[in-house]
Amino acid sequence: MSKKVAVILAGSGVYDGSELHEAVITLLALDRNEAKVQCFAPNISQLHVVNHLTGEVAEGESRNVLVESARIARGKVADVAELDVNDFDALIIPGGFGAAKNLCDFALNGRDMTMNEAVLKAAQAFKGSAKPVGLMCIAPVMATAIFGAGVQCTIGNDTETAEVLTAMGAEHINAEVNHVVVDEANKLVTTPAYMLAEHISQAADAIEELVERVLSLA
């Protein structure tokens, strides 16, 4: 039987939304594993809009996270507030700075971050139902908020970020770009993706494994 997977997006674009390669590879890997997918995103304004050509904040511009996520989902995206855990077997959240800016405020507040209320409620529902969750790239900064202290996860081997996760209560495990970390007790799978990847193929290898491990836990 095909597994049903919810994917939460954070907009469209590495600097202010979901990392496009990570999101597309995730959706492709899920499709190749015959999973049925529904994308979700919070119906909120982005923290800011970044000009991806220059890397600078586009002053005066405002974009909606749900609307921008529709670019990746080809229009098939729903408000994360409507996500019902009973309809799905697993949850995956790609990275990109949007995960740390729009799904939570880690980019602003570090260890004192808070999560978007609807995203946190949805993610904790998967935890409470003992259904697997996959977080990649910078998204594991939300692991402690979702699972509590002691959760095992990785953002790769960036010492500064790892120290912040440890201060938040996570058990950070260093990992190379092609590795995944599985917290069996929490059914959480994490991988560094573009925290370390220098080529799309490097990101793809571990993202595909993350998808397979999440599905195997479902």
Residue 95, both tokens: 């990275």
Q: If you write DSSP's letter for every residue of 58-104 in order, what string do you get?
A: -TT---BHHHHHHHHTTT-EEEGGG--GGG-SEEEE--SHHHHHTSB
In percent, the amount of the chain with pLDDT more than 70 equals 100
Instruction: State how far the Cα of 116 lies from the Cα of 34, in Å rounded to an integer.
Output: 30
- CB neighbourhood size of 116 (10 A): 22
Q: In degrees to the nearest 10, what's the CA dihedral of 115, 172, 161, 112?
A: 30
Condensed to tens digits (0 to 9), the pLDDT of residues 95-127 reads: 999 999 999 999 999 999 999 999 999 999 999
Do the bridges between strand 188-191 and strand 181-183 make them parallel or antiparallel, or are there none, so unpaired? Answer: antiparallel
Mean pLDDT of 37-42: 98
Catalytically annotated residue among 39, 104, 137, 153: 137
d(CA 116, CA 36): 25
pLDDT exceeds 80 at position 1: no
**Contact, 153 vs 135, CB < 8 A?**
yes
- Please provide the distance, in angstroms rounded to a whole number, between the alpha carbons at the two ends of the chain: 11
Our answer to whether residue 137 is catalytic in this structure is yes
Predicted confidence band at 7 (pLDDT cuts at 50, 70, 90)?
very high
- Six-digit token pair at 144? 């402690």
CA 132, distance to chain mean position in Å, is 13
Considering the chain, what is the average pLDDT of its residues?
Answer: 97
Q: State the pLDDT at residue 212.
A: 98
Reported as a single tens digit per residue, the pLDDT across 119-171 is: 999 999 999 999 999 999 999 999 999 999 999 999 999 999 999 999 999 99
